[in-house]
Amino acid sequence: MTDLEDLSHHIHDRISSIKHTLDLSVVELPQNKIAKLGQELFALERLLEEFEKSVGQQKDHLKHLKELDEVFQNYLQDVQHIKDNIPAHMPRKKGPLKGNEPAVKQKEADVQPAEKKSSKSFVREMEFITLPEFESIPQYMKGRVTYDQLNAAVDGINTAVTAKYKIIHQSVRALNNHARKLHQRFKDQETKDTKGQYFVVEDDIREFTQMKVDKRFQGILNMLRHCQRLRELRGGGLTRYVLL
């Protein structure tokens, strides 16, 4: 824009010079002055052509900027829409399958005994429900439970699992009296069928979360079973919810 302004000032100076020369036309001009006037007019004509060319370039540049602004505004709207609709719980990205191995095989591979993990502090967590999975749940099973409420329950169960196995993985000597009692209770609830698996019972939900273990919670568990996030294992008067 500065180049255009400089060119405009230069043209203005040329025009002023020509006007000054014409003002002297009332007197007879020498031949050299007439030649100089012709040169000035020729130079002015070239400057005007250059000025028109610069104006055209600036118009093209302005048009391009307007197109970029329109694209940017569309992107901005998309980003704002994404920001306004981010779910409270984001499903984790699953690792790629090897070769043409079906997804069922991959899920079975994930449900391997926990002691095969290199770290004793590893705790399996339930993956959040994806929107397509939620939509696949029959309406009679969902009732009034929303997508966010279902994943909030997943988060609560994961909290209970993490807290439970944090105690199990610690040395009993490092625990306080209450934690020792919990540790013993957890061990007593284990069976040969739960070896290497991660599970919780209703008392664990009450102990480590603020979730209500009621009829609505039982309905949520049904949905999680439908989505293959857990399975029930009964025995000894207890229902164990085993994570898949």
pLDDT tens sequence across 16-25: 766 666 565 5
- Are 93 and 130 within 8 A, CB to CB? no
**pLDDT score at 197:** 92
Q: What type of residue sits at position 72?
A: F
**pLDDT score at 140:** 93
Lowest-pLDDT range, 18-22, 166-170, 234-238? Answer: 18-22
**pLDDT score at 59:** 85
Lowest-pLDDT range, 78-82, 110-114, 217-221? Answer: 110-114
Q: Where are the domains of the chain?
A: 2-84, 107-243
- Interhelix angle 147-168/215-226, rounded to 10 degrees, is 90
Q: Percent of the chain beyond pLDDT 90?
A: 47
b/e map of 108-132 (b: 16 or more CB within 10 Å)?
A: eeeeeebeeeeeeeebbbbbbbbee
* Spatial distance between the Cα atoms of 83 and 79, rounded to a whole number of angstroms: 6
Q: Does residue 101 surpass a pLDDT of 70?
A: no
pLDDT band at 163 (very low <50, low <70, confident <90, very high): very high
CB-count burial class (<10 Å; 0-12, 13-18, 19+) for 219 = middle
Q: Give the residue, 119 or 220, on which the prediction is more confident.
A: 220
Give the fold, CATH level 3, of 107-243. Arc Repressor Mutant, subunit A (1.10.10)
**pLDDT score at 146:** 94
Average pLDDT, the chain: 80
CB atoms within 10 A of CB 158: 20
* Residue 8, token pair as written in the block: 């405009």
Q: Does residue 5 surpass a pLDDT of 80?
A: no
Q: Does residue 99 surpass a pLDDT of 50?
A: no
What's the rounded mean pLDDT across residues 132-156? Answer: 94
